[in-house]
Chain A
Amino acid sequence: MKTATAIKNIDELYELNKKYSQRKEKWEKSVAICAGTGCRANKAVSLISAFKEEFKKKNIEENIVLKETGCHGLCEKGPLVVIRPDNIFYQHVKPEDVIQIVDKTILSGEIIESLLYVLPEDKKQIVKEEEIPFYKWQKRLVFGQNGHIDPRSIEDYFGVDGYSALAKVLTEMTPEQVIEEIEKSGLRGRGGGGFPTGRKWRSTRNAEGDIKYVICNADEGDPGAYMDRSLLEGNPHSVIEGMIIGAYAIGANQGYVYVRNEYPLAVENLLVALEKAREYGLLGENILGTDLSFDIKISKGGGAFVCGESTALMLSIEGKVGEPRTKHIHTSESGLYERPTNLNNVETWANVPIIINRGADWYRSIGTENSKGTKIFSLVGKVVNTGLVEVPMGITLKQIIFDIGGGIPGGKKFKAVQTGGPSGGCIPSELLDMPVDFDELTRVGSMMGSGGMIVMDEDTCMVDVARYFLSFLVEESCGKCTPCRDGNYQLYQILNRITEGEGKEGDIELLEEIAETVRDASLCALGKTAPNPVLSTIRYFRDEYEKHITDKKCPAGVCKNLFNFAILEEKCTGCMLCLKRCPQDAIVGERKQPHSIIQEKCIKCGICFDVCRYDAVIKV
């Protein structure tokens, strides 16, 4: 049934685009507050209520617009507030700052210096968002609207030409032409595999069958990657628009978004967006007055990493256990309910409207020979500016980590960057100048994955990192095929032994041998790529493995059995703080006399190391 607000034809949509983009010009100022998960964890919700209250008190609600937006990307400095049109950027904003912001900045145009971003190198303050190095070097095509629009307002999306790509497709292009355009753009799947999107669409379109499905994979299971969540939370309509275009090209009438259960806010915002899209007649029967009928259901995952794999995901939507199958028959021919099914991930879908609007030729001009467009990375770990960054393919690792990310905190030394999630690999400092794209990352023994980029410094133990990923993969292996189920378990056991100081001569070679078997013989991508963390750390950090095995030492001071805490006599002031806090009474000494640790009692909980104000506790 059509609602009263349903858009009857394409012209009405263009009217809405015009109406809501002009609305922006009438606003005197707008205040965009990041309400993504990162900032919420930093109490952004109470900040928003404080703003609302103050706006009411000052009676400025009419002229100044408050926007609860999705993630702005620079999570490290959250909660973030940007005041437009001047783009004044405030960081670490607390509810108690609100009165000042309203009085000074919003009403009198004054800048509050204490809330500005400060350049770490020369302590210079930066006022405008776009001048902060973190933003300056990015190219935010897909992620760009996140900081501007309210994800729960479809009107905001109309105001940034929302659904105009869909209108273009429905009026000017045949399904065949849409597929050609996507093929020509060179878009490759952003979820991990990097398969050409256009080719995938074509094979699903060509597959036999009346009922076809399109699915959005939002089961972002890679620990340390959250760009898909932030897109769904911050700009759900861009994903929905991409899916409708895909459905038109492929000939599908039903779509699914398979989303992680751990992402409640993404589910909530997506539900609102779907509801609104239906209200405006952008989903349902006869979309925009054309013959196209299409709708989208949400399916929430149950917390299984393997369900990010296409065949497992489809079984999970059907309400079954998510165990992958061999793919001698592709899901494009027989997928969900054994019907032709096209699966792309969130970021891939969000690229589609941009390609349609701006053209494949323009899109092709960004990126490298075989990787076009931009990619969103979540830059996390031991890096100054933790957050989400969108960059053109081909940018170097060094530019991402040092120019955008601001380098390593605490003056520590960069050791490696891990890309591609648990199935990816660790890339050492010698390769920092390599361009980042699908093929280059694979060439050095890692992969693009969904775009997690975890920076590691000299305090990270590479053997422990490999052990960590293997423990994750052992836990997440569905157990269907032997190489993955047992092979990865054996790898984990050996790595565990090494990190516990029980490593033996020949362990490295044994790891390599098992890893190769697991890689060659596993059924699905989870198993096939599981040995990557082991192989890549052995390839680039073999000496660390050897130190663990032969010298029984963990140079980074991570593996508990392979280092001790000690107190430096010359630095210890005898303040008794560590002594009082030690849960094992393992620290002895008199007030104002250097303390010492009884090694037999120490459980290496690290509390003394944390609480010492004089850097007197060290790892040896």
Chain B
Amino acid sequence: MPVDKQSPILRATGLNKSYGDRAALIDASFELWPGEVLAIVGESGSGKTTLLNALAARDQPDSGSVEFHLKDGALTDIFKMTEAQRRLLARTDWGFVHQNSADGLRMEVSAGANVGERLMALGERHYGKIRATACDWLARVEIDPARIDDLPRHFSGGMRQRLQIARNLVTQPRLVFMDEPTSGLDVSVQAKLLDLLRQLTQHLGLASVIVTHDLAVARLLAHRMIVMRRGRIVETGLTDQVLDDPQHSYTQLLVSSVLQP
């Protein structure tokens, strides 16, 4: 079987995290390969956000390791890197799309500045080029480029999320984390956003970890799925596998609870 011998882009091993007495994450491990989209599914309190934060180096786990395959290097433990290296990574090779777009945008600067910030942080000093790149990305996320100078506070929720995506993808990261990217949005807006995410992850070959409680989002976007309950991974596999042939009792409960249209 001609499976190429590259390394996983992200590897989590034995992650544990407690908040006082409460164990929020217990022994979580998995590998993610380039171009794969992984959905982490679970209800509130399942530990999915804790896991995402550990993976994205936002919150150090109590034990275990998270390794990321650097662009021109090897699998490296992200918590053994310096703060400077992690921040650089977060600005270049990683993306993080927040549930609440206000957390992932600068609300008081224009859309163009939001998209161009990463470029400027990396030393791009030509205003014209920055603006052209920003226009290009706004178009790609289906925001009218004429709105490049508008503030995000004048955008709708769906537009803000798409702006967030553009802001993250402008440096062509290889790994994108998403925390409930469609929650709180109207259904039609969700559909548009999901479609955009689907196309972009495919076209750009992004690896992605998406936390969601919505199984439909997982089915549409993800190749693979992890189901979490009370801090543990209870089931993992291909998305269609887990949704169509759930093995664990909790997964069966979750799948059967979804309202069919």
Whether chain B is bound by chain A comes out as no
A interface residues, Cβ below 8 angstroms from B: none
